[in-house]
Amino acid sequence: MNNQRGFTLISLLVLLFVGLLVGGFLMRVLPSYGEYARVVKAMKVVGESQGALTKDLYGLRQIFKSELTKRHITSVSAKDLRIANAPGGGRELKIKYETPVKLLRQLGVVVKFQRVVQIGPPK
């Protein structure tokens, strides 16, 4: 008997095509996750800033706006930042935003992000 093992040329081409599709998708979507990481760092800086527990929304938004500018973040504005009372007392910063990512001509995805950061020094 002649038992042959391995990939055929067609299966190799299909595998290559799928790999290219996944790679192209990741190249478009991953930068928005990198920007999200920078937004979270900016929120942590605002939450740990001196006097953050006593500042009003306007003061915290000013700090957040300067952090966004420093980190070259364009898809989020200071108006997206919210302050809420934490369940155990204290306050927390909340952000929720969407980033549209264009994949092909009329094909795209919307990536949704949200995060909550406690205000005050780290425990």
User: Tens-of-pLDDT digits for all 123 residues of the chain?
Assistant: 677 777 788 999 999 999 999 999 999 999 999 999 999 999 999 988 888 888 888 999 999 999 999 999 988 998 999 988 888 777 899 999 999 999 888 999 999 999 999 887 555
- Structural domain of residue 85, as residue ranges? 31-118
What the block records as the tokens of 67 is 């952090």
Does residue 19 lie within any of the structural domains?
no
CA-to-CA distance for 56 and 81, rounded, in angstroms? 12
Predicted pLDDT of residue 121: 58
pLDDT at 1: 64
Asked whether residue 77 is assigned to any structural domain, the reply reads yes
Does the residue 22 lie in any domain? no
CA pair distance 123, 103, nearest whole angstrom: 41
Assess if residue 37 is contained within a domain. yes
Instruction: Classify 84 as helix, strand or coil.
Output: strand
Q: How many domains does the chain have?
A: 1
In Å, how far from its chain's centre is CA 19? Answer: 24
In terms of Cα–Cα distance, which of 59, 73, 66 is closest to 31? Answer: 73
Per DSSP, helices labelled H in the chain are 9-47, 57-70
Assess if residue 82 is contained within a domain.
Answer: yes
Residue 4 inside a domain? The answer is no
72 within a domain of the structure (yes/no): yes
